[in-house]
Amino acid sequence: MSLNLLGLNRGQFEALCADMGEKPFRARQMMRWMHQAGVSEFDLMTDVSKGFREQIGASATIAAPAVLRDTTAPDGTRKWLFDVGTGNAIEAVYIPEGDIDDESVAEGVPVRRYRGTLCVSSQAGCALECSFCATGRQGFNRNLGTAEIIGQLWHASRSLSADLGVERPITNVVMMGMGEPLANFDNVVAAMQLMLDDHAYGISRRRLTLSTSGLVPAIDRLRDACPVALAVSLHAPNDSLRDQLVPINRKYPIRELLAACLRYIEKAPRDFVTFEYVLLAGVNDSVALARELVKTVKPVPCKINLIPFNPFPDSGYARSAAPAVAAFRDVLLQAGLTATVRKTRGDTIDAACGQLAGKVRDKTRRVLRRMEENRA
């Protein structure tokens, strides 16, 4: 099998070039061609010697996972379904904000202002089984490799640049797609280091966010290996409720999770952690629980991102009504916390938060087990 160059960080690429008798700068040249120009054909890398292009082309390739489906919602949200082999498919979502045709003038030069966020998957399925998440309901097959993670960004950037006429259409990346990123630690960190590299995507640490359900030891590892903006899927103010919604809480309860967040902030690019809180009607959206949440998160500098639940088949949950969302938010604001309500995007194509499902051959046999339990 050919080596997929999308999975190499700068150090690995430089070592490969050295093995082939080339200087380290060749790696940087080729990284810019691949990641910034979206080039997949070695012959198009015109400032790289023909001999080296032929040499590396004989043993390596530049390839993202194949696209099975490409869907765009009326609000501009775009979702790709990628084939990652052996019957598995994963999803990535692009969320535009602002009009890319709007121009402002800075020092007499027209500047296009917009924000384009790509939500990237890290696993085929997820083993954590959060009860309100479509990915968690379907089971787990495997971790994605670094090239498969980067391949989502590479393909999306290349496609959007061509379609929108924007040189760098993706300004932000969130590791919030299918899977628990910290359960695939090495590959995710390697991919994020490429995203940060100025010779690749040049995304700032503040604009690269990793979302975790709360794997405490891995949060500490991330703090030392690759500190980026951190989002934590909290969803409940106490252990008894969070145990039901986010089962990993039984292993790493809220007190341990918050302590890890405080340690993380010491090296984080932002001086706060974002707590994500999906609002489920009649489950975790009462004013009383909002008041309890204030007390729970008070020790941690944070922002609360309230997310109205996005339905999926047989979820067993309903979205909180708008008045309940507003009342919950107001309790947080009145207590002096920063709290926002996430606007639902892409729900018409099942691309909203919690709706990503892809297609997974379930190694955990979770779907089969649930079917047997329902029959019983």
pLDDT (tens digit per residue) in 303-326 = 999 999 988 777 789 999 999 999
Active-site residue, 91 included:
yes
Q: How many CB atoms lie within 10 A of CB 328?
A: 24
Question: What pLDDT does 109 receive?
Answer: 45
What is the rounded CA–CA span in Å between residue 338 and residue 236?
17
Confidence tier at 99 by pLDDT (50, 70, 90) = low
Residue 353 known to be catalytic: yes
pLDDT of amino acid 372: 53
- For residue 102, pLDDT beyond 50: no
Average pLDDT of span 3-15: 95
For the ranges 6-20, 155-169, 279-293, 340-354, the lowest mean pLDDT is seen at 340-354
Residue-wise pLDDT for 181-199, tens only, equals: 999 999 999 999 999 999 9
Q: Which domains does the chain have, with CATH numbers?
A: 3-61 (1.10.150.530), 66-375 (3.20.20.70)
Model confidence at 363: pLDDT above 90: no
Q: How far apart are CA 98 and CA 139, in angstroms?
A: 36
State yes or no: pLDDT of 214 exceeds 90. yes
Q: State the chain's maximal CA–CA distance in angstroms.
A: 71
Q: What pLDDT score was predicted for residue 104?
A: 42
pTM listed for this prediction:
0.89
> Which residue out of 119, 226, 302, 353 is catalytically annotated?
353
Question: With 50 as the cut, is the pLDDT of residue 123 above it?
Answer: yes
**Amino acid type, 153:** L
Sequence-distant (6+) residues with CB within 8 A of 82 are: 64, 65, 66, 67, 68, 89, 90, 91, 92, 148, 151, 152, 155
pLDDT tens sequence across 143-185: 999 999 999 999 999 999 998 888 889 999 999 999 999 999 9
Output the pLDDT for position 365. 61
Better-predicted residue by pLDDT, 250 or 115: 250
Using pLDDT thresholds of 50, 70 and 90, give the confidence band for residue 356: low
Distance CA 284, CA 236 (A): 6
Q: What is the pLDDT confidence band of residue 111, given thresholds at 50, 70 and 90?
A: very low
pLDDT at 265: 97
Share of the chain above pLDDT 90, in %: 74
- Grade residue 360 by pLDDT with cuts at 50, 70 and 90: low
The catalytic position among 14, 17, 22, 91 is 91
Does the structure show a pLDDT above 80 at 250? yes
DSSP reduced 3-state for 297 = helix
Q: What is the mean pLDDT of residues 341-351?
A: 66
